[in-house]
Structure 1
Amino acid sequence: MPVQPREPSVTVQLSSPESLMQPVPYAHVAIGTGTRHVHVAGQISRDARGRALAPGDLAGQVAHALRNTGAGLRSAGAGFGDVVRLTFYVTDWSPEKIEAFMAGVQEVGEELGLPQPMPPSSLIGVDHLFEPDVLVEVEATAVTD
């Protein structure tokens, strides 16, 4: 069942100063004026029973990890429009993987109400994550109210 995207947040403003206008799919700055902070722990591509989803498929794992991140946000009364920071950890990162990575983001962008551009984001390459089949982990910080 598709998730109903939330209205754009009034507590988060995204921007990019001209001096930082590099061709990236995210804003460089987020200003959060709310008082309630929501931190979603690293989410991976697993279902509610812990079963691996999209094994070996970076795009699929990005999409599922973002869905799980969205579920965490919703459980706290937040959505991606409230996010001031996303951090992606990707195993064995190389620039050639950006197409698959972005395909996963685009797959769920509309479904989850990801703002365009996305909130400030970091993509950090790591040797491995806690399980050998996990290719990506996503953390989110949001500000509401």
Structure 2
Amino acid sequence: MTSEGPVVRLVQVPALGRAPGYSHVAEVRGGRTVYVSGQIAVDAQGRVVGEGDFRAQARQVFENLRVALAAVGLTFDAVVKLTFFLTDFAHLAAMREVRDEFVNTAAPPASSAVQVSRLVHEALLIEVEAVAAAP
């Protein structure tokens, strides 16, 4: 922290592709809180991965979260909050199964799930944003 408040570093992660109008990661120093923008099932070239396959999309989303966290030196162990946006709650159980491949299930992060009518691309079924904290 400075006398004027926290220092914020906004990070564009090349491995996640070009971000139109937002940063992939916002790191707040002096408390080390990191906000990861909602990740969707796209590769580094911006192509949708797993069209029509919820599990494939969920895995791509969590891989994108992993890459974003690594860009600021963190892992899923630092994640304190996940927010899930699903186009259909019928996928909730599958989402939890995929999530459990990435997070510490003994001490899972806080989370929220919201059903939405549509995401930024009509082929997308899931979006996840994260908040992480580190000492």
Q: How big is the shift at 1:131? A: 0.7
Deviations 1:59-113 (A, max 9, x none): 111111011011101101111111110001011x23x32333234334xx1xx4x
- 8 Å contact kept, 1:59–1:105: no
Deviations 1:8-64 (A, max 9, x none): xxxxxxxxxxxxxxxxxxxxxxxxxx8211110000111100111110111111111
Q: 1:118 matched to which residue of 2?
A: 108
Partners of 2:130 and 2:37 lie apart in 1 by 7
Q: 2:70 matched to which residue of 1?
A: 74
Report the residue type matching 1:135 in the other structure. L
The aligned runs of 1:39-118 (5 Å cut-off) are 39-91=35-87, 93-94=88-89, 96-106=90-100, 109=101, 112=102, 114-116=103-105, 117-118=107-108
Partners of 2:50 and 2:97 lie apart in 1 by 14
- 8 Å contact kept, 1:59–1:102: no
Report the residue type matching 2:75 in the other structure. G
The aligned runs of 1:6-25 (5 Å cut-off) are none
Structure 2 gaps, min length 5: 1-29
- 8 Å contact kept, 1:58–1:104: no
Partners of 1:60 and 1:133 lie apart in 2 by 12
Specify which structure has the bigger relative contact order, considering alpha-carbon pairs within 8 angstroms and separated by 6 or more residues: 1
Q: 1:128 matched to which residue of 2?
A: 118
Deviations 1:110-144 (A, max 9, x none): xx4x1114211111100001110111001000011
Q: TM-score, normalised by structure 2?
A: 0.71
Structure 1 gaps, min length 5: 1-33
Report the residue type matching 1:102 in the other structure. R
Partners of 2:91 and 2:127 lie apart in 1 by 15
- SS at 2:66 equivalent: helix
* Root-mean-square deviation over aligned CA pairs: 1.5
